[in-house]
Amino acid sequence: MHRIKSLLVSSAILFPVFHAVAQEAKPQDTEVWEPVPAIVTLGTAASAPSDAIVLFDGRNLDSWVSDKGGAAPWTIKDGAMTVAKGKGGIKTKETFEDFQLHIEFRTPEVVKGEGQGRGNSGIFLQEFYELQVLDNYNNKTYSNGQVGSIYKQAIPLANPSRKPGEWQTYDVIWTAPRFNEDGSLKSPARVTALLNNVLVQNNFELLGKTLYIGKPFYEKHGAKSIALQDHGDLVSFRNIWVRKL
Q: Is 40 exposed, middle or buried (0-12, 13-18, 19+ CB in 10 A)?
A: exposed
From the CB of 204, what's the least distance to Mg ion, in Å? 17
DSSP codes of every residue in 30-79: G----SPPPP-PPP-TTS--TTPEEEE-SS--TTEEETTSSB---EEETT
From the CB of 203, what's the least distance to Mg ion, in Å? 22
DSSP state of 111: -
Q: How many helices (H) does the chain have, and how many strands (E)?
A: 1, 15
From the CB of 120, what's the least distance to Mg ion, in Å? 5
Q: Is 67 left (phi over 0), alpha (psi -120 to 50) or beta?
A: alpha
Q: How many residues does the chain have?
A: 245
Closest CB to Mg ion belongs to which residue?
122
Please tell me the distance from the alpha carbon of residue 55 to that of residue 53, in angstroms, as a whole number: 6
- Closer to Mg ion by Cβ: residue 48 or 228: 228
Please tell me the distance from the alpha carbon of residue 174 to that of residue 172, in angstroms, as a whole number: 6
From the CB of 139, what's the least distance to Mg ion, in Å? 13
From the CB of 122, what's the least distance to Mg ion, in Å? 3
State the residues that interact with Mg ion by CB under 5 A. Answer: 120, 122, 229, 231
- Closer to Mg ion by Cβ: residue 92 or 120: 120
